[in-house]
Amino acid sequence: MSEFDGLPVLRSPVAIAAFEGWNDAADASTAAVEHLEQVWAAKTVSELDPEEFYDFQVNRPMVSLSEGDTRRVEWPTTRFAAATPPGADHDVVLIRGIEPSTRWRTFCHEVLEVCHSLEVSRVVLLGALLADVPYTRSLPISGSASDKADIERFNLTPTRYEGPTGIVGVLHDACRRADVDAVSFWVHVPHYANNPPCPKATLSLLHRVEEVLDLPVPMADLAEESAQWEERLRTAAEQDAELAEYVRELEERAGDEDLRPLSGDEIAQQFERYLRRRGGHAGPTAGL
């Protein structure tokens, strides 16, 4: 069971969750949550008992030295950290862990029990999947939401996938069954560039987090790292004619949708959201 004693009192917190494993191509989604933990100085407030959910021959505990000579065992688990983003009127609960080996329904129940104890108002689930997409374009984001209005608000492309699912899909369904407001974002990672890290994919997910929270997320060096990631792929394509041709085919298949010029209203709305998140003035069309 989880340890609930001493949980902090938070301000209408939103939970953001990601899990290592099947749901985490190129480690993109867990990297997003880890980034938020660092830039918002999040503090661990709870964790699940790993004994119930993990096969320790698959996810082994790690031994480290503390204070020079004290051996410390760190167990694989799912942890909950609380953060107060600067300028925000609500707190954030960051959930980062490993896809469980067993007892998924109990795992989801435990996660939601902690969220309930922390009075979480919404759960945002992050995932990353391998896909046939060109690295030269914006990486697509698909997803789903329990509130149909959120699908339009966040311009989500609903996934039509049918087949095996991971803990992100199962937890989203558990949120729906428990009447917990939930939204999930899945970034599409080029399958031919699946070695972690993938800063461009992580950056895409963090931009969606900004939209949900309606506040700025410090990006640190991610934009520069994303540009360097693209440059490495560009260099690889220059040296590999088959890869270059394949990327061109993907670009043609993607069409010109990413290059479609935005309308004046779309530009205005995007700019207003950008200013509002960064403390500027929204202008005469605020609230659209």
Cis peptide before 197 (omega within 30 of 0): yes
pLDDT confidence of residue 150: 87
Partnered with residue 63 across adjacent β-strands are: 73
The per-residue pLDDT for 39 is 96
DSSP structure class, residue 227:
H
Residue 175: both structure tokens together = 């949120």
Locate all alpha helices (DSSP H) within 49-153, ordered by sequence: 104-117, 148-153
**CB of 185 within 8 A of CB of 124?**
yes
Contacts of 92 (CB under 8 A, 6+ apart): 13, 14, 15, 16, 36, 40, 42, 82, 83, 84, 85, 213
Structure token pair of residue 39: 């830039």
- In terms of Cα–Cα distance, which of 181, 186, 85, 182 is closest to 130? 186
Is 141 within 8 Å of 188 (Cβ atoms)? yes
What residues pair up with 119 in beta bridges, in sequence order? none
What pLDDT, on a 0 to 100 scale, did the predictor assign at position 260? 41
Q: Where are the beta strands (DSSP E) in the chain?
A: 14-20, 43-47, 62-66, 70-74, 79-83, 92-98, 122-131, 141-145, 157-158, 182-190
What's the start-to-end Cα distance of the chain, in Å?
45
pLDDT for 277 = 45
Q: Is 20:99 a contact under the CB 8 Å cutoff? A: yes
pLDDT value of position 78:
97
State residue 272's pLDDT score.
Answer: 52
Tens-binned pLDDT, residue by residue, of the chain (288 aa): 344 557 899 999 999 999 999 999 999 999 999 999 999 999 999 999 999 999 999 999 999 887 777 788 999 999 999 999 998 889 999 999 999 999 999 999 999 999 999 999 999 999 999 999 999 999 999 999 988 888 888 888 777 778 889 999 999 999 999 999 999 999 999 999 999 999 999 999 999 999 999 999 999 899 999 999 999 999 999 999 999 999 999 999 886 554 343 344 443 444 454 445 445 443 333 322
Measured from the Cβ of residue 273, the count of other Cβ atoms closer than 10 Å reads 16
What's the confidence (pLDDT) of residue 107? 98
Predicted local distance difference test score (pLDDT) of residue 12: 93
CA dihedral 263, 267, 269, 270 (to 10 degrees): 130
pLDDT for res 261? 39
- Whole-model pTM? 0.84
Query: Closest Cα to residue 209, out of 11, 1, 28?
Result: 28
CB 16 within 8 A of CB 126: yes
